[in-house]
Amino acid sequence: MEGFWENLYVATFARYTVVILCSIVFLAVFELVTAYKNWEEIRRGNLACALATGGKIFGIATIFRYSIEHHDSLLQSIGWGGFGFLLLLGGYFLFEFLTPTFKIDKEIGDGNLAVGFISMMISVGLSYVIGASIIAG
């Protein structure tokens, strides 16, 4: 059975499956902390929400990319990916805190493309910084 987990195809499939499951959980957490309903807004054509959500998806995937590349075990990858997600989530709250003149969630929910784009770029940018930190870890 030990050789089974060392097979490249099995290891790739295992990591792929875990990242998909973690992404679903992490996106559900984002859904809980935003004032708007991501998938409902996207279904209605809210491009600002699609940009912000796309940035979150890209951010989560980027964090896991670095986590998988620099840690041998699946458990280490999950641990570092989860920690990276918490940092990304903290960045979301920090973005909201640093813009006291307007509410990020309200602007995205109302379809403000500029805020949706900045939110996406923050998620993408932070994921690279988090990923670089994972490499050092």
pLDDT for 111 equals: 97
Given a contact cutoff of 8 angstroms between Cβ atoms, the answer to whether 30 and 92 are in contact is yes
Q: What is the pLDDT of residues 3-26, one digit of tens each?
A: 776 788 988 898 999 999 999 999
Give helix 113-136 / helix 74-97 axis angle, nearest 10°: 140
Q: What are phi and psi of 34, to 5 degrees?
A: -95, 150
Query: Residue 136 above 60 pLDDT?
Result: no
pTM: 0.89
Query: Residue 69 above 60 pLDDT?
Result: yes
pLDDT for 137 equals: 52
Q: What is the pLDDT of residues 24-54, one digit of tens each?
A: 999 999 999 998 999 999 999 999 999 999 9
Average pLDDT, the chain: 91
Residue 73 CA to residue 70 CA, distance in Å, equals 9
Residue 82 CA to residue 41 CA, distance in Å, equals 26
Residue 62 CA to residue 101 CA, distance in Å, equals 31
